[in-house]
Amino acid sequence: MQVYFDNGATTQPFDEVVELVAQTMKNNFGNPSSAHGLGLKAEKALNEARDVAAKTINCTRDEIIFTSGGSESNNFLVKGFTSAGAHIITTEIEHPSILNTFKDLEMVGAKVTYLKVDQYGRISLKDLENSISNQTRLVSIMHVNNEIGTIQDIESIGALIKEKSPRVKFHVDAVQSYGKLKIDVKKAQIDLLSVSGHKIHGPRGVGFSYIKKGFYPKALISGGGQERNFRSGTENLPGIVGMAKAAEIMYTNIEKNYLKAKELKEYFIESLKSLKDIKINSPSEEFFSPYILSVSFLGVRGEVLLHLLEEKGIYVSTGSACSSNHNADSHVLKAIGLSTAQTKGTIRFSFSEFNTKEEVDYTMEVLEKSLKFLRRK
Taking Cα atoms as reference points, which of 294, 271, 298, 267 lies closest to residue 366?
A: 271
Name 269's Cβ contacts closer than 8 Å, sequence gap at least 6: 280, 283, 284, 293
The number of CA neighbours under 13 Å toward the Cβ of 313 is 7
Q: Please answer whether residues 343 and 294 qualify as being in contact, where contact means their C-beta atoms are separated by less than 8 angstroms.
A: no
How far is Cα 100 from Cα 94, in angstroms, rounded to an integer?
9
Beta strand pairing call for 3-4 and 169-173: unpaired
How far is Cα 172 from Cα 189, in angstroms, rounded to an integer?
10
How far is Cα 350 from Cα 364, in angstroms, rounded to an integer?
15
Active-site choice (322, 328, 337, 372): 322
How far is Cα 114 from Cα 93, in angstroms, rounded to an integer?
9
Name 229's Cβ contacts closer than 8 Å, sequence gap at least 6: 219
Count of Cβ atoms closer than 10 Å to residue 357 Cβ: 12
Taking Cα atoms as reference points, which of 128, 112, 257, 236 lies closest to residue 181?
A: 257
How far is Cα 61 from Cα 118, in angstroms, rounded to an integer?
38
Q: Please answer whether residues 110 and 248 qualify as being in contact, where contact means their C-beta atoms are separated by less than 8 angstroms.
A: no
Positive or negative torsion for Cα 246, 249, 252, 255: negative
To the query of whether residue 59 is one of the catalytic residues in this protein, the response is no
How far is Cα 248 from Cα 139, in angstroms, rounded to an integer?
29
How far is Cα 30 from Cα 41, in angstroms, rounded to an integer?
7
Taking Cα atoms as reference points, which of 349, 372, 345 lies closest to residue 359?
A: 349
Name the residues annotated as catalytic.
Answer: 322
